[in-house]
Amino acid sequence: MLKSILIAFSCILLCKSDNPDGPIVEISLGKLRGFTFELGDNKRADIFLNIPFAKPPIGELRFEKPQPPKPWTGIREAKTWGPICYPHVIVENFADPTQASEDCLQLNVFKPNLTTHDSKGYPVLVWIHGGGFEFAHASLFGYEYLSKNFISREIIVVSIQYRLGPLGWISTGDSVMPGNLGYWDMTQALKFIHENIGYFGGDPKRITVWGESAGAIAVSALTMSPHSRDYVAQSVEMSGSVFMPVSSNDDVVEASQEIIKTLSCEAQDPSQIKECLRAKTIDEISNAVLINGPARKGLNMIKFHPRNDGDFFPVDYPELIKTSPPKPAMIGFTDVESALHALVMVPPLVEPLITDVGIQKSQYPTYGQQNLTRFIKEEVAPEKVLGHFAKEVQEKLIEFYLKRGKPENADYKFYIERYVQLLSDAQFKVPAILTAQLKMKSNWPVYLYLNEHYNDKNYDQELPVKGCIHTCESIHFFGYNFTGPFIWDESEFIVQKIQVETMANFIKTGDPSMPSLKWPQLTQDHPLIYFSIKTEPKVKEPLEIKVWNFWKELMNKYPYDIIRRKPNEGYKNDHEEL
């Protein structure tokens, strides 16, 4: 489990094909030879792996925007996964450096093995992996389940990679190193797909970009940046939004300065800093991240992440949503998102490398009112950012998360549940709802959902919080469960069918509705209507109305946005209109 989180799969399941050498596709750069994968029911997928969409970002191209790739002669073998991108740290049980490389800007195409198709071409689904912008890779999610779920429905799937950690997100906060290189990588990948997907039988005008967690943050960003949005027809944003704490602020500049200092690269001239960093080895950079701590406390757990840079994002996100061409969007989250990291449901050795907000299992019984109060005062609404408003905001948070509905004999389970609620609301739910509301107000077709499916068989029985956690959909879409062994039963197959069917319908038509259940888009009269994902799905409203109203008041009333971790004046009026 530990190594599989970050290292590429060591083997590829090569299945029978009528062509023993594999299918060949000629794109703008040259010929590719892949292999064929049996899907069952006389259906097949042609798989093409490790296709470069940019020049290797090494040497003089390290810390630069991606450049178009060079063509090749002959036939390029596309049968094995390419290298993974380096994560932010390289330690035992977290990343195998023999599987990683800076030369990792490649994508993978999975297409139906059919000789005929719609004259316009197949719709295209582009998968952008999560991992907090600091770890994970395309091969972690494989091609088997993606092919069975979507290729069987005559949808082409493309999975991409992008630079991670300092290599992808380091920023000095100026024009020399503004950051967001990972976003530029994704944009270059989308441009490459737009120009070449026709060779695979795909329609470049029907590209749906899909991501989960950091991948969804990226998708949210790609729909609105003027550099990327023209390559995107619509989006699926699962458990991620540009308004999350991890994607809206300059915390990454502070983290960058830490490793710049540790690597003895301080200089008056930012260009000299870049040159110094280029000369450092991957091990030196990784060690500098470890020395300064790979994760942080508080709502923004991630050290290296996007920022509003004035380049990829010329203006702030609300204004970009207003001025971007409207695109259909599926947006949603799970009911207990942050239980994954708050309750340390990832391997204990991995957890401190990616977050510093977890409560170890041995600490559950001692967690109480003091712990949550301290977290609110020191990490969520500290005086250093709120000034004389701090006490007032802290009291509101304490009233909402500690005192509201508190039983007489509240035990540790109550306080842990409220801790998870606070994290889930601030890290995932409120940012997603804000995105949905702003897009709806600007006439984007928005379909909102809440994943509430929970199967007790697949969780530790001693967990104090039960529900659908962050990444709970991964088993259904990819056959991969981040929390350990998984038991499939009838309920899992039912939920899998609902999730895949609604997404496939959305990819093909822009409407995720099922024949048996209409999934309505948001309107001014029904701004929080949503699709509840369960074994018996239902349409409900209003989604998280108490939570939304509480946080909307905080966003409207105070000069500092504690979710985005930045001053509030720039988009205060947008919140007041919601």
DSSP 263-290: TT---SSHHHHHHHHHTS-HHHHHHHHH
Do 415 and 368 meet the contact criterion of CB atoms below 8 Å apart? yes
Q: In this predicted structure, what is the pLDDT of residue 13? A: 31
> Rounded CA gap, 393 and 390, in Å?
5
- Predicted confidence (pLDDT) at residue 152 exceeds the cutoff of 50: yes
**What confidence score (pLDDT) does residue 34 get?**
98
- The CATH number corresponding to 333-577 among 3.40.50.1820, 3.90.1170.50, 1.10.287.130, 3.20.20.10 equals 3.40.50.1820
Residues 124 and 155: beta-carbon distance below 8 Å: yes
Instruction: Grade residue 349 by pLDDT with cuts at 50, 70 and 90.
Output: confident
| Contact (Cβ atoms closer than 8 angstroms) between residue 207 and residue 194 | yes
Question: How confident is the model at residue 118, as a pLDDT?
Answer: 65
Query: Percentage of residues in the chain with pLDDT exceeding 70?
Result: 94
Q: Are 197 and 207 in contact (CB under 8 A)?
A: yes
Model pLDDT for residues 95-128, shown as the tens digit of each residue? 777 899 999 999 999 999 987 666 789 999 999 9
- SS3 label, residue 49: strand
Q: How confident is the model at residue 484 (pLDDT cuts 50, 70, 90)?
A: confident
Interatomic CA distance for residues 563 and 48, integer angstroms: 41
Q: For residue 3, what pLDDT is reported?
A: 37
Structure-block tokens of residue 101 = 């490389």
Where b means 16+ CB within 10 Å and e means fewer, 472-500 reads bbbbbbbbbbbbeeeeeeeebeebbebbb
Closest by alpha carbon to 336, among 471, 535, 489?
471
Q: Beta partners for 533?
A: 451
What are the structure tokens assigned to 244, written together?
A: 């999350």
Q: Give the separation between CA 237 and CA 2, rounded to whole angstroms.
A: 27
pLDDT over 50 at 4, yes or no: no
What angle (nearest 5°) sits at the alpha carbon of residue 450, between those of residues 515 and 144? 70
Over the range 144-177, which residues count as b (16 or more CB within 10 Å of their CB) and which as e? bbbbbbbbbbbbbbbbbbbbbbbbbbbbbbeeeb
Q: Which helix (H) or strand (E) holds 567?
A: strand 566-567
DSSP 320-375: HHHHSPP--EEEEEETTTTHHHHTT-S-TTTHHHH-S----GGGGGG--HHHHHHH
Q: Which among 257, 263, 261, 268 has a CA at the least distance from the CA of 281?
A: 263
Mean pLDDT of the chain: 93
Is residue 151 within 8 Å of 500, Cβ to Cβ? no
Structure-block tokens of residue 86: 């380096």
Q: Do domains 3-327 and 333-577 have the same CATH topology?
A: yes
pLDDT tens digits along 185-233:
999 999 999 999 999 999 999 999 999 999 999 999 999 999 999 999 9
Q: What's the pLDDT score for residue 96? A: 74
Question: How many CA atoms are closer than 13 Å to the CA of 508, on its beta-carbon side?
Answer: 16
Q: What gap in Å lies between CA 509 and CA 99, rounded to an integer?
A: 39
Q: Is 161 left (phi over 0), alpha (psi -120 to 50) or beta?
A: beta
Contact (Cβ atoms closer than 8 angstroms) between residue 449 and residue 533: yes
The stretch 560-578 carries a mean pLDDT of 71
The string of pLDDT tens digits covering residues 57-73 is 999 999 999 999 999 99
- As a whole number of angstroms, the distance between CA 208 and CA 91 comes to 35
pLDDT of residue 268: 81
Mean pLDDT computed over 242-256: 95
**How is residue 179 written in tokens?**
């950051």
As a whole number of angstroms, the distance between CA 544 and CA 14 comes to: 46
User: HSE-up of 528 (CA within 13 Å, CB side)?
Assistant: 15
Residue 323 token pair? 């001025």
Residue 576 has pLDDT above 80, yes or no: no
Q: What is the pLDDT of residues 391-401, one digit of tens each?
A: 999 999 999 99
Q: How confident is the model at residue 257 (pLDDT cuts 50, 70, 90)?
A: very high
Q: Which of 21-25, 117-121, 288-292, 445-449 has the lowest mean pLDDT?
A: 117-121
Tokens of 493: 């197959």
Closest-CA residue to 170 (of 368, 309, 314)? 309
Give the separation between CA 232 and CA 329, rounded to whole angstroms: 11
pLDDT range class, residue 571, cuts 50, 70, 90: very low
Over 60: is that where the pLDDT of 319 sits? yes
| pLDDT at 10 exceeding the cut of 70 | no
Question: For residue 573, is pLDDT > 80?
Answer: no
Residue 5 to residue 392: CA distance in whole angstroms: 42
Angle subtended at Cα 34 by Cα 135 and Cα 155, rounded to the nearest 5 degrees: 75
Q: Residue 207 pairs with which residues in a beta bridge?
A: 124
499 vs 22: CA distance, rounded Å:
32
* CA–CA separation, 252 and 304 (whole Å): 5
C-alpha closest to that of 244 among 136, 130, 88 = 130
Q: What is the mean pLDDT of residues 78-103?
A: 90
Given a cut of 50, is residue 379 above it in pLDDT?
yes
pLDDT for res 351: 80
**Which helix or strand (DSSP H or E) is residue 441 part of?**
helix 430-441
How far is Cα 363 from Cα 372, in angstroms, rounded to an integer?
Answer: 13
The DSSP secondary-structure symbol of 302 reads: B
The pLDDT of residue 21 is: 87
CA 531 – CA 449 distance, rounded (Å):
5
Note the CATH number of domain 3-327.
3.40.50.1820
Residue 116: per-residue pLDDT: 67
CB 324 within 8 A of CB 224: yes
With 90 as the cut, is the pLDDT of residue 16 above it? Answer: no
Q: How many helices (H) and strands (E) does the chain have?
A: 19, 16
pTM over 0.75: yes
Per DSSP, which regions of 430-552 are E strands? 446-451, 530-533, 538-540
Q: At what angle do helices 282-292 and 251-262 cross, to 10 degrees?
A: 120
* Three-state DSSP state, 398: helix
Match 């989250």 to its residue by tokens.
Answer: 333
- Average pLDDT for residues 347-367, to the nearest whole number? 89
Domain limits of the chain?
A: 3-327, 333-577
* Gap between the Cα atoms of 220 and 439, Å rounded: 11
The end-to-end CA distance of the chain, in Å, is 44
